[in-house]
Amino acid sequence: MIQGIARGSATSTPNFLLRLDIDTTRDADSTRPILDLLDDTQIKATFMVATGPDDSARKILGATPRIIRGRYHKRYGLTTLKNTLKPEQHLENRLEDKDILQAGHEIALHGHWHTKWIEEAPRWTLPQAQEHTTRAFTSFTSRFGLQPKGFSTPGFTTTPQITQALQKHPLLYTSNTRNPRPHHPTLHGTPTTHLEMPATLQTLEERLLQGATPNKAPATAMREAAETLKKEGYLCYYTHPSFDAHLHRDFLPRLINTIQQQEPRTPTMETAARERRTHDEDTPDL
C-alpha cells in the first residue's frame, strides 16, 4: 500500500525533507552558505554525493542541445564551466564532510560518475549494474568511513537491473524517483526491501532550464511545494547547492520560510525513513 509518510503514524506532523545533490565540484564547493542557512532554519538535510570523476562541464559544452547549452552558458558562465574540468579529481574527496556531519546532516550516495551513469545506465545489464553500484558504495565507504543509508540514482535513471543490483546493499532507503509519497517499489511483481523516499517536485533550476520565466517560476515552485506538503504530509525538495548558493540565492530561504509556516518536521531522509520503517515494523538490522 502506498501511504504518505506521516499518515497513520503517531504524529500527523508533516515531514519536509531537503535533499541536496552534489553532482559537480561546484556543488561540493558551495555547501558553506547552504550549511549556514540550514543552521539558521534548524533543518537537517541530506547531502547526496556522486562519487567518482566530475566531467560535467565537458558534457555540457559538448553534448547538450544548443538551446539548453545557451542557458547553461548564461547561468553558469564559461569560466565556471572550465573550472570544473578536473577529471582526475573525485567528487567525494572534494566534499567537506566533517562540517556536514558535525551539524547533524546526512551524507548519502548518489551513484558513481554522474554524467556517465545518466548516459549509460539505461542500457546496463544486471552484471554491469552490479559493478557500477558496487563501485559507488566502495568509493563512498572508503572516503567517509561509513555505509550510506540512502541511495539516489543520478538523473532518476531507474531500471529493473539497477533496482535489483541495489537489493544486495544494506540500504535503509532509496530516492530514485519523483513521486508524491514513500512506497516500496516492486521488482518482477514483488515489493523490494528498500523504502523509496522519492523527490517530490521539479527544482526551480529544472523549471528555468526548461524555459519557465524567471519572474513566475519561483512563485509557482513555492506554491506547488506548499500545496504538496499540505496534501501529502510529505515533501522532499531536491536541489543543487551550486544553484542555490550562487544563482538564485533568495529562493531557498523563501521556500523554507513558506514551508515552515506549516510547522513541519525537518529531519534527514535517513531519520524520516527510519521512523517510517519502524512504523511499518519492517526495519532491518541496519
Residue ranges that bind Zn ion, judged by CB under 5 A:
21, 23, 154
Quote the CA–CA distance of 31 and 47 in Å, as a whole number: 9
35 vs 199, which CB is nearer to Zn ion?
Answer: 199
Which residue reads 555540457 in cell numbers?
60
Beta strand pairing call for 190-191 and 186-187: antiparallel
Q: Which of 93, 88, 132, 134 is nearest to 114 (CA)?
A: 132
* 4 vs 154, beta carbon nearer Zn ion: 154
Helix H or strand E segment including 110: strand 106-112
Instruction: Kindly report the backbone phi and psi dihedral angles of residue 164, in degrees, each rounded to the nearest multiple of 5, phi listed first.
Output: -70, -40
* Residues contacting residue 53 through CB under 8 Å, at least 6 positions apart: 87, 88, 89, 90, 91, 113
Nearest distance in Å: CB 189, Zn ion: 29
Q: How far is the CB of 19 from Zn ion (least distance, A)?
A: 10
Minimum distance from CB of 231 to Zn ion (Å)?
A: 26
- In the complex, residue closest to Zn ion by CB: 23
Spatial neighbors of 177 by CB under 8 A, at least 6 apart, are: 156, 158, 185, 196, 198, 199
Cell representation of residue 170: 544494506
Judged by beta carbon, residue 206 or residue 280, the one nearer Zn ion is 206
CB of 286 to Zn ion, least distance (A): 24
Rounded to a whole number of angstroms, the minimum distance from the CB of residue 24 to Zn ion is 9
Our CB check for Zn ion shows the closer of 112 and 274 to be: 112
Q: Which is nearer to Zn ion, 150 or 154 (CB)?
A: 154
In terms of CB distance, is 6 or 162 closer to Zn ion? 162
Q: By the 8 A CB rule, do 229 and 235 touch? A: yes
Shortest distance, position 109 Cβ to Zn ion, whole Å: 11
